[in-house]
Amino acid sequence: MNTSATHNERIAKITFASVYPHYVTKVEKKGRTKEELHQVITWLTGFDNKKITQLINENITFEQFFQQAKLNANTSLITGLICGYRVEEIENPLTQKVRYLDKLVDELAKGKKMEKILRS
């Protein structure tokens, strides 16, 4: 994925709190739950429900969000297209982490089984 520094900076400055409601809407519209969304976020980042709520309330950026995260050892198993790019080929580490989260949310919304989403 060839992106500009400006694109990567924009992603870094987006707040998790501004995107989170869109994640909730997306998964609930497809019959999934907020609890399942949190399960996916927890699997990727290591954050529990309390921490997720705290980070939303603190209005932190994606850069700060992923600085605090302890990524799951199996994140390298997340592959496929997101926003027209292969997630495994994204060169900027932060952009790739954000797209990992986007990919997992997409899979949840598309009705994939949780075992497959969580790469277990």
Q: What is the pTM of this model?
A: 0.93
For residue 1, what pLDDT is reported?
45
Query: Following DSSP, what letter does each residue of 43-64 receive, concatenated?
Result: HHH---HHHHHHHHHTT-BHHH
Residue 72 near residue 44 (C-beta atoms within 8 A): yes
Q: What is the pLDDT of residues 91-104, one digit of tens each?
A: 999 999 999 999 99
Q: What is the pLDDT of residues 45-88, one digit of tens each?
A: 999 999 999 999 999 999 999 999 999 999 999 999 988 889 99
